[in-house]
Amino acid sequence: MPALRLHQGSLGARLVIAPSLTDRRAWLEWRRGGIGASDAAAIAGLDPFKGAMSIWLDKTHRLPLDDDDAEYRRWGNLLEPAIAEEFEKRTGLHVTGRGELVEHPEHKWMRSTIDGFVCESGEPWPSYPALGALEIKTVAGFKSKDWAEQVPDHFQLQVQHQLAVTGLQHAWLAVLFGGQRMEIRELERDEELIDSLLELEDAFWTKHVLADVPPSSDGYEATTEDLRRAFAGGGGETVILPSEAETLIAQRAEAKDVMKAAEKSCAEAEQALMALLGDAEIGLRDGRPRVTWKRFERSTIDLETFRNQHPLLAAQLTVKSSYRRFSVVGGKEETST
Protein backbone atom coordinates (compact mmCIF):
# COMPACT_ATOMS: atom_id res chain seq x y z
CA MET A 1 0.00 0.00 0.00
CA PRO A 2 1.41 3.44 -0.91
CA ALA A 3 2.51 5.63 1.96
CA LEU A 4 0.18 8.26 3.37
CA ARG A 5 0.96 11.89 2.56
CA LEU A 6 -0.38 14.77 4.65
CA HIS A 7 -1.30 17.85 2.62
CA GLN A 8 -1.98 21.25 4.14
CA GLY A 9 -3.39 23.96 1.92
CA SER A 10 -6.57 25.20 0.33
CA LEU A 11 -8.39 22.03 1.32
CA GLY A 12 -7.25 22.15 4.93
CA ALA A 13 -5.33 19.31 6.54
CA ARG A 14 -6.23 15.96 5.11
CA LEU A 15 -4.72 12.60 4.45
CA VAL A 16 -4.09 11.69 0.85
CA ILE A 17 -2.87 8.34 -0.35
CA ALA A 18 -0.59 8.50 -3.34
CA PRO A 19 -2.34 6.88 -6.32
CA SER A 20 -1.00 3.59 -7.60
CA LEU A 21 -1.90 3.21 -11.26
CA THR A 22 -0.10 -0.13 -11.54
CA ASP A 23 -1.67 -1.88 -8.55
CA ARG A 24 -5.43 -2.07 -8.93
CA ARG A 25 -5.73 -4.65 -6.16
CA ALA A 26 -4.12 -2.28 -3.63
CA TRP A 27 -6.64 0.39 -4.62
CA LEU A 28 -9.51 -2.09 -4.20
CA GLU A 29 -8.23 -3.01 -0.72
CA TRP A 30 -8.01 0.67 0.23
CA ARG A 31 -11.53 1.30 -1.09
CA ARG A 32 -12.86 -1.67 0.86
CA GLY A 33 -11.39 -0.23 4.07
CA GLY A 34 -13.90 2.61 4.14
CA ILE A 35 -17.01 4.11 2.55
CA GLY A 36 -16.39 5.58 -0.88
CA ALA A 37 -18.37 8.10 -2.88
CA SER A 38 -19.89 5.38 -5.07
CA ASP A 39 -21.19 3.64 -1.91
CA ALA A 40 -23.12 6.66 -0.62
CA ALA A 41 -26.30 6.28 -2.67
CA ALA A 42 -26.60 2.55 -1.94
CA ILE A 43 -26.33 3.17 1.79
CA ALA A 44 -28.96 5.90 1.48
CA GLY A 45 -31.27 3.59 -0.49
CA LEU A 46 -31.12 5.76 -3.62
CA ASP A 47 -28.87 3.69 -5.86
CA PRO A 48 -30.99 2.23 -8.68
CA PHE A 49 -28.73 -0.80 -9.04
CA LYS A 50 -27.60 -1.99 -5.59
CA GLY A 51 -28.41 -1.64 -1.91
CA ALA A 52 -26.74 -1.39 1.48
CA MET A 53 -26.57 -5.18 1.88
CA SER A 54 -24.16 -5.46 -1.05
CA ILE A 55 -21.97 -2.73 0.44
CA TRP A 56 -21.95 -4.54 3.80
CA LEU A 57 -21.00 -7.86 2.21
CA ASP A 58 -18.07 -6.14 0.50
CA LYS A 59 -16.83 -4.09 3.46
CA THR A 60 -16.92 -7.13 5.76
CA HIS A 61 -14.80 -9.12 3.27
CA ARG A 62 -17.55 -11.61 2.54
CA LEU A 63 -17.38 -10.95 -1.17
CA PRO A 64 -14.29 -11.76 -3.23
CA LEU A 65 -12.19 -8.70 -3.97
CA ASP A 66 -13.64 -7.45 -7.24
CA ASP A 67 -10.73 -6.84 -9.60
CA ASP A 68 -12.77 -7.50 -12.72
CA ASP A 69 -11.89 -5.04 -15.47
CA ALA A 70 -15.18 -5.13 -17.34
CA GLU A 71 -15.49 -3.72 -20.84
CA TYR A 72 -17.51 -0.68 -19.77
CA ARG A 73 -15.03 0.13 -17.00
CA ARG A 74 -12.11 -0.25 -19.38
CA TRP A 75 -13.62 2.23 -21.84
CA GLY A 76 -14.52 4.59 -19.04
CA ASN A 77 -10.89 4.62 -17.90
CA LEU A 78 -9.64 5.10 -21.47
CA LEU A 79 -12.01 8.01 -22.10
CA GLU A 80 -11.41 9.88 -18.84
CA PRO A 81 -8.23 11.70 -19.97
CA ALA A 82 -9.93 12.84 -23.18
CA ILE A 83 -12.98 14.07 -21.26
CA ALA A 84 -10.78 15.94 -18.78
CA GLU A 85 -8.88 17.55 -21.66
CA GLU A 86 -12.12 18.62 -23.33
CA PHE A 87 -13.33 20.03 -20.01
CA GLU A 88 -10.21 22.20 -19.86
CA LYS A 89 -10.76 23.43 -23.43
CA ARG A 90 -14.40 24.35 -22.82
CA THR A 91 -13.92 26.04 -19.45
CA GLY A 92 -10.40 27.47 -19.66
CA LEU A 93 -9.71 25.83 -16.28
CA HIS A 94 -7.09 23.25 -15.43
CA VAL A 95 -7.50 19.71 -14.08
CA THR A 96 -4.79 18.39 -11.80
CA GLY A 97 -4.31 15.80 -9.06
CA ARG A 98 -6.15 13.16 -11.07
CA GLY A 99 -6.79 9.87 -9.31
CA GLU A 100 -5.89 11.11 -5.82
CA LEU A 101 -7.17 8.90 -3.01
CA VAL A 102 -8.49 11.14 -0.26
CA GLU A 103 -9.63 10.45 3.30
CA HIS A 104 -11.73 12.72 5.52
CA PRO A 105 -9.49 14.39 8.15
CA GLU A 106 -11.71 13.28 11.05
CA HIS A 107 -13.63 10.27 9.77
CA LYS A 108 -10.91 8.06 8.30
CA TRP A 109 -13.47 5.59 6.97
CA MET A 110 -14.90 8.31 4.69
CA ARG A 111 -12.93 8.08 1.46
CA SER A 112 -13.01 9.08 -2.17
CA THR A 113 -11.05 8.65 -5.38
CA ILE A 114 -11.05 12.07 -7.02
CA ASP A 115 -11.14 12.25 -10.82
CA GLY A 116 -9.43 15.62 -10.62
CA PHE A 117 -9.13 18.95 -8.85
CA VAL A 118 -10.12 22.02 -10.86
CA CYS A 119 -7.72 24.97 -10.63
CA GLU A 120 -7.32 28.33 -12.35
CA SER A 121 -3.62 27.69 -12.82
CA GLY A 122 -1.82 24.80 -14.41
CA GLU A 123 0.34 24.47 -11.30
CA PRO A 124 -0.03 21.01 -9.73
CA TRP A 125 -2.32 20.62 -6.77
CA PRO A 126 -1.86 21.07 -3.79
CA SER A 127 0.63 23.88 -4.37
CA TYR A 128 -2.17 25.88 -6.01
CA PRO A 129 -5.69 26.30 -4.53
CA ALA A 130 -8.43 24.11 -5.94
CA LEU A 131 -11.69 25.73 -7.07
CA GLY A 132 -13.53 22.44 -6.79
CA ALA A 133 -13.62 18.77 -7.68
CA LEU A 134 -14.18 17.23 -11.09
CA GLU A 135 -16.29 14.10 -11.51
CA ILE A 136 -16.14 12.41 -14.92
CA LYS A 137 -19.00 10.23 -16.13
CA THR A 138 -19.54 8.12 -19.23
CA VAL A 139 -23.27 7.50 -19.61
CA ALA A 140 -25.23 5.45 -22.14
CA GLY A 141 -26.97 7.63 -24.68
CA PHE A 142 -30.48 6.42 -23.81
CA LYS A 143 -29.96 7.51 -20.20
CA SER A 144 -29.52 11.16 -21.15
CA LYS A 145 -33.24 11.68 -20.41
CA ASP A 146 -32.49 10.97 -16.75
CA TRP A 147 -30.25 14.05 -16.77
CA ALA A 148 -32.70 16.35 -18.57
CA GLU A 149 -33.87 18.34 -15.53
CA GLN A 150 -31.11 17.76 -12.99
CA VAL A 151 -28.22 15.52 -12.02
CA PRO A 152 -29.73 12.16 -10.90
CA ASP A 153 -30.02 11.80 -7.13
CA HIS A 154 -27.50 8.97 -6.78
CA PHE A 155 -24.84 10.99 -8.60
CA GLN A 156 -25.64 14.04 -6.48
CA LEU A 157 -24.98 11.99 -3.35
CA GLN A 158 -21.71 10.74 -4.82
CA VAL A 159 -20.54 14.31 -5.47
CA GLN A 160 -21.66 15.59 -2.05
CA HIS A 161 -19.69 12.75 -0.46
CA GLN A 162 -16.62 13.92 -2.38
CA LEU A 163 -17.14 17.50 -1.27
CA ALA A 164 -17.49 16.30 2.33
CA VAL A 165 -14.18 14.42 2.11
CA THR A 166 -12.23 17.21 0.39
CA GLY A 167 -13.81 20.17 2.15
CA LEU A 168 -14.43 21.84 -1.20
CA GLN A 169 -17.44 24.02 -1.96
CA HIS A 170 -18.01 23.29 -5.64
CA ALA A 171 -17.96 20.43 -8.12
CA TRP A 172 -18.10 20.04 -11.88
CA LEU A 173 -19.46 16.97 -13.63
CA ALA A 174 -18.19 16.31 -17.14
CA VAL A 175 -20.66 13.83 -18.62
CA LEU A 176 -20.18 12.06 -21.95
CA PHE A 177 -23.46 10.67 -23.29
CA GLY A 178 -23.26 7.72 -25.68
CA GLY A 179 -19.63 8.53 -26.47
CA GLN A 180 -20.82 11.40 -28.68
CA ARG A 181 -22.10 14.36 -26.67
CA MET A 182 -20.53 15.98 -23.63
CA GLU A 183 -22.26 18.21 -21.10
CA ILE A 184 -20.86 20.03 -18.08
CA ARG A 185 -22.97 20.31 -14.93
CA GLU A 186 -22.12 22.08 -11.69
CA LEU A 187 -23.13 21.38 -8.10
CA GLU A 188 -22.61 23.47 -4.96
CA ARG A 189 -21.81 22.05 -1.57
CA ASP A 190 -25.01 21.27 0.34
CA GLU A 191 -24.10 21.42 4.02
CA GLU A 192 -27.45 20.10 5.25
CA LEU A 193 -27.28 17.13 2.89
CA ILE A 194 -23.67 16.46 3.83
CA ASP A 195 -24.56 16.45 7.55
CA SER A 196 -27.32 13.91 6.90
CA LEU A 197 -25.06 11.82 4.69
CA LEU A 198 -22.28 11.85 7.26
CA GLU A 199 -24.70 10.73 9.99
CA LEU A 200 -26.09 7.97 7.78
CA GLU A 201 -22.68 6.68 6.69
CA ASP A 202 -21.27 6.85 10.21
CA ALA A 203 -24.19 4.77 11.51
CA PHE A 204 -23.71 2.25 8.71
CA TRP A 205 -19.98 1.95 9.33
CA THR A 206 -20.32 1.70 13.12
CA LYS A 207 -23.51 -0.30 13.56
CA HIS A 208 -23.15 -2.64 10.60
CA VAL A 209 -19.57 -2.91 9.31
CA LEU A 210 -17.63 -2.67 12.59
CA ALA A 211 -20.36 -4.47 14.56
CA ASP A 212 -20.67 -7.07 11.78
CA VAL A 213 -24.46 -6.81 11.74
CA PRO A 214 -26.19 -6.96 8.35
CA PRO A 215 -28.41 -4.02 7.35
CA SER A 216 -32.02 -4.47 6.32
CA SER A 217 -32.64 -6.40 3.12
CA ASP A 218 -33.57 -4.30 0.11
CA GLY A 219 -35.02 -6.57 -2.57
CA TYR A 220 -32.44 -5.73 -5.24
CA GLU A 221 -31.58 -8.51 -7.68
CA ALA A 222 -27.91 -7.58 -7.22
CA THR A 223 -28.25 -8.22 -3.48
CA THR A 224 -29.49 -11.78 -4.11
CA GLU A 225 -26.57 -12.41 -6.45
CA ASP A 226 -24.08 -10.98 -3.94
CA LEU A 227 -25.52 -13.13 -1.15
CA ARG A 228 -25.13 -16.19 -3.38
CA ARG A 229 -21.53 -15.22 -4.10
CA ALA A 230 -20.73 -14.46 -0.46
CA PHE A 231 -22.15 -17.73 0.85
CA ALA A 232 -21.61 -19.97 -2.17
CA GLY A 233 -19.92 -22.75 -0.25
CA GLY A 234 -22.63 -23.80 2.19
CA GLY A 235 -21.69 -26.84 4.24
CA GLY A 236 -23.00 -25.62 7.59
CA GLU A 237 -25.72 -27.91 8.89
CA THR A 238 -28.10 -25.91 11.11
CA VAL A 239 -28.57 -22.50 12.69
CA ILE A 240 -31.13 -21.41 15.27
CA LEU A 241 -33.32 -18.75 13.68
CA PRO A 242 -34.63 -15.79 15.70
CA SER A 243 -38.38 -15.33 16.21
CA GLU A 244 -38.59 -12.68 13.46
CA ALA A 245 -37.78 -15.41 10.93
CA GLU A 246 -41.43 -16.50 11.12
CA THR A 247 -42.50 -12.96 10.17
CA LEU A 248 -40.14 -13.05 7.19
CA ILE A 249 -41.44 -16.47 6.11
CA ALA A 250 -45.01 -15.17 6.30
CA GLN A 251 -44.01 -12.05 4.34
CA ARG A 252 -42.45 -14.24 1.65
CA ALA A 253 -45.54 -16.48 1.41
CA GLU A 254 -47.86 -13.47 1.12
CA ALA A 255 -45.66 -11.92 -1.59
CA LYS A 256 -45.64 -15.22 -3.50
CA ASP A 257 -49.46 -15.29 -3.42
CA VAL A 258 -49.61 -11.71 -4.72
CA MET A 259 -47.15 -12.57 -7.49
CA LYS A 260 -49.19 -15.62 -8.51
CA ALA A 261 -52.37 -13.54 -8.63
CA ALA A 262 -50.59 -10.90 -10.72
CA GLU A 263 -49.20 -13.54 -13.10
CA LYS A 264 -52.70 -15.04 -13.49
CA SER A 265 -54.19 -11.62 -14.20
CA CYS A 266 -51.46 -10.94 -16.76
CA ALA A 267 -52.04 -14.31 -18.43
CA GLU A 268 -55.80 -13.67 -18.61
CA ALA A 269 -55.23 -10.32 -20.36
CA GLU A 270 -52.74 -11.85 -22.81
CA GLN A 271 -55.10 -14.73 -23.60
CA ALA A 272 -57.96 -12.33 -24.36
CA LEU A 273 -55.71 -10.27 -26.63
CA MET A 274 -54.52 -13.42 -28.43
CA ALA A 275 -58.14 -14.38 -29.08
CA LEU A 276 -58.79 -10.89 -30.49
CA LEU A 277 -55.77 -11.18 -32.81
CA GLY A 278 -56.53 -14.70 -34.04
CA ASP A 279 -54.30 -15.28 -37.11
CA ALA A 280 -53.37 -11.59 -37.34
CA GLU A 281 -49.82 -10.64 -36.27
CA ILE A 282 -50.50 -6.96 -35.50
CA GLY A 283 -53.37 -5.33 -33.63
CA LEU A 284 -54.03 -1.64 -34.29
CA ARG A 285 -55.51 1.12 -32.13
CA ASP A 286 -56.09 4.57 -33.65
CA GLY A 287 -54.09 3.48 -36.67
CA ARG A 288 -51.02 2.53 -34.64
CA PRO A 289 -49.67 -0.90 -33.65
CA ARG A 290 -50.55 -1.72 -30.03
CA VAL A 291 -50.22 -5.52 -29.86
CA THR A 292 -48.15 -7.97 -31.89
CA TRP A 293 -48.18 -11.78 -32.02
CA LYS A 294 -45.54 -12.64 -34.57
CA ARG A 295 -44.17 -15.97 -35.69
CA PHE A 296 -40.49 -16.72 -35.10
CA GLU A 297 -38.40 -19.81 -35.74
CA ARG A 298 -35.42 -21.05 -33.81
CA SER A 299 -33.17 -24.09 -33.90
CA THR A 300 -32.27 -26.06 -30.79
CA ILE A 301 -30.33 -29.24 -30.14
CA ASP A 302 -32.29 -32.29 -29.01
CA LEU A 303 -30.08 -33.01 -26.00
CA GLU A 304 -31.76 -36.29 -25.09
CA THR A 305 -31.23 -37.74 -28.56
CA PHE A 306 -27.67 -36.42 -28.62
CA ARG A 307 -26.88 -38.11 -25.29
CA ASN A 308 -28.39 -41.40 -26.47
CA GLN A 309 -26.55 -41.45 -29.80
CA HIS A 310 -23.22 -39.97 -28.58
CA PRO A 311 -22.91 -40.79 -24.87
CA LEU A 312 -19.11 -40.46 -24.67
CA LEU A 313 -19.05 -37.10 -26.45
CA ALA A 314 -21.98 -35.88 -24.37
CA ALA A 315 -20.10 -36.84 -21.20
CA GLN A 316 -17.00 -34.95 -22.37
CA LEU A 317 -19.03 -31.83 -23.12
CA THR A 318 -21.07 -31.91 -19.92
CA VAL A 319 -20.06 -29.19 -17.48
CA LYS A 320 -21.00 -29.63 -13.83
CA SER A 321 -21.79 -26.70 -11.59
CA SER A 322 -23.08 -26.34 -8.06
CA TYR A 323 -25.55 -23.94 -6.51
CA ARG A 324 -27.52 -23.52 -3.30
CA ARG A 325 -31.31 -23.89 -3.46
CA PHE A 326 -33.38 -21.87 -1.00
CA SER A 327 -36.52 -23.55 0.36
CA VAL A 328 -39.10 -22.90 3.07
CA VAL A 329 -40.11 -26.08 4.89
CA GLY A 330 -43.65 -26.59 6.19
CA GLY A 331 -46.95 -25.25 4.97
CA LYS A 332 -47.06 -24.52 1.24
CA GLU A 333 -43.59 -25.44 0.04
CA GLU A 334 -41.97 -22.73 -2.03
CA THR A 335 -38.52 -22.95 -3.57
CA SER A 336 -36.15 -20.37 -5.04
CA THR A 337 -33.30 -21.63 -7.21
Domains and their CATH numbers in the chain: 4-229 (3.90.320.10), 244-336 (no CATH)
Instruction: Compute CA 216 distance to the chain's CA centroid, rounded to the nearest angstrom.
Output: 17
pLDDT tens per residue across span 101-113: 889 988 989 999 9
Cα–Cα distance measured from residue 32 to residue 259, given in angstroms and rounded to the nearest whole number: 37
- pLDDT band of residue 123 (cuts 50, 70, 90) is low
pLDDT of residue 10: 46
pLDDT of residue 67: 57
> Of the ranges 62-71, 231-240, 256-265, which is most confident?
256-265
pLDDT of residue 209: 97
- pLDDT band of residue 334 (cuts 50, 70, 90) is low
Query: Residue range 31-56: average pLDDT?
Result: 95
- Specify whether the CB–CB gap between 5 and 19 falls below 8 A: no
Whole-structure pTM over 0.85, yes or no?
no
Average pLDDT, the chain: 87
pLDDT of residue 160: 97
- Tell whether the model's pLDDT for residue 6 goes beyond 80: no
pLDDT of residue 18: 46
pLDDT of residue 333: 54
- Specify whether the CB–CB gap between 61 and 29 falls below 8 A: no
Higher local confidence (pLDDT), 97 or 312: 312
- pLDDT band of residue 74 (cuts 50, 70, 90) is confident
Higher local confidence (pLDDT), 230 or 1: 230
163, 211, 165, 217: which is closest to 190 by C-alpha?
Answer: 163
Higher local confidence (pLDDT), 135 or 334: 135
pLDDT tens per residue across span 206-220: 999 999 999 999 999
Instruction: State the amino acid at position 94 in one-letter form.
Output: H
- pLDDT band of residue 337 (cuts 50, 70, 90) is low
pLDDT of residue 331: 63
- Tell whether the model's pLDDT for residue 82 goes beyond 60: yes
